[in-house]
Structure 1
Amino acid sequence: MTDLTLVFDLDGTLVDSAPDLIASTNHVLDHLGLARVDAATLRPFVGHGAKHMIEKAIGPACEKLSEAERAALLKRYLDFYSANIATGSRPFAGVVPALQNLRAEGVRLAVCTNKMEGMAQRLLDALDMTHYFTAIAGRDTFPVSKPDPGALLGTIALAGGDRSHAIMVGDTNVDIAAAKAASVPVIGVTFGYTETPVQAFGPDAVIEHFAELEQAIGMLVSRRQQASVTADADESSRLARAVAH
Structure 2
Amino acid sequence: MAAVIFDLDGTLVDSAPDIHAALNLTLAEEAAPPLTLPQVVSFIGNGVPVLIERVMRARGEPADAARHKDLHDRFMRHYNADPATLTTLYPGVEACLRGLSASGWQIGLCTNKPQGPSREILGSFGLLELFAVVIGGDSLSVKKPDPAPLRAAAAAFAAGPVLYVGDSEVDAATAAAAGLPFALFTEGYRKTPAQDLPHQALFSHFDALPALLQGLARS
- TM-score, reference length from structure 1: 0.83
Q: Percent identity?
A: 33
Question: What secondary structure is seen at the aligned counterpart in 2 of 1:139?
Answer: coil
Match of 2:175 in 1: 179
Q: Which amino acid aligns with 1:92?
A: Y
- Distance in 2 (CA, whole Å) between partners of 1:208 and 1:55 is 30
Question: What secondary structure is seen at the aligned counterpart in 2 of 1:61?
Answer: coil
- Distance in 1 (CA, whole Å) between partners of 2:12 and 2:121 is 11
Alignment of 1:27-106 (within 5 A): 27-58=25-56, 59-63=58-62, 66-106=64-104
Could you tell me how far 1:218 is from its partner in structure 2?
2.4
- Distance in 1 (CA, whole Å) between partners of 2:112 and 2:166 is 12
Q: Of the candidates 156, 167, 175, which is equivalent to residue 163 of structure 2? A: 167
Question: What secondary structure is seen at the aligned counterpart in 2 of 1:142?
Answer: coil
- Distance in 1 (CA, whole Å) between partners of 2:149 and 2:52 is 25
Question: What secondary structure is seen at the aligned counterpart in 2 of 1:216?
Answer: helix
Structure 2: gaps (5+ residues)? none
- Distance in 1 (CA, whole Å) between partners of 2:178 and 2:50 is 25
Does the aligned pair in 2 maintain the 1:179–1:185 contact within 8 Å? yes
1:190-219 CA deviation, whole Å, 9 max, x = no partner? 111122233321211111010110121122
Does the aligned pair in 1 maintain the 2:145–2:174 contact within 8 Å? yes
- Distance in 2 (CA, whole Å) between partners of 1:32 and 1:202 is 42
- Distance in 1 (CA, whole Å) between partners of 2:180 and 2:131 is 19
Could you tell me how far 1:87 is from its partner in structure 2?
1.1
Question: What secondary structure is seen at the aligned counterpart in 1 of 2:11?
Answer: coil
Could you tell me how far 1:76 is from its partner in structure 2?
0.8
Q: Which amino acid aligns with 1:101?
A: G
Does the aligned pair in 2 maintain the 1:8–1:110 contact within 8 Å? yes
The verdict on how the C-alpha distance between 1:197 and 1:23 changes in structure 2, with shifts beyond 3 A counting, is farther
Alignment of 1:182-197 (within 5 A): 182-197=178-193
- Distance in 1 (CA, whole Å) between partners of 2:142 and 2:35 is 31
- TM-score, reference length from structure 2: 0.92
The verdict on how the C-alpha distance between 1:207 and 1:83 changes in structure 2, with shifts beyond 3 A counting, is same
- Distance in 1 (CA, whole Å) between partners of 2:138 and 2:48 is 15
Could you tell me how far 1:142 is from its partner in structure 2?
2.9
Root-mean-square deviation (Å): 1.7
Structure 1: gaps (5+ residues)? 225-245
The verdict on how the C-alpha distance between 1:161 and 1:198 changes in structure 2, with shifts beyond 3 A counting, is farther
- Distance in 1 (CA, whole Å) between partners of 2:136 and 2:158 is 17
The structure whose RCO (Cα within 8 Å, separation 6+) is larger is 2
Q: Of the candidates 202, 208, 212, which is equivalent to residue 204 of structure 2? A: 208
- Distance in 2 (CA, whole Å) between partners of 1:192 and 1:161 is 30
Does the aligned pair in 2 maintain the 1:190–1:197 contact within 8 Å? no
**Richer in helix (by share):** 1
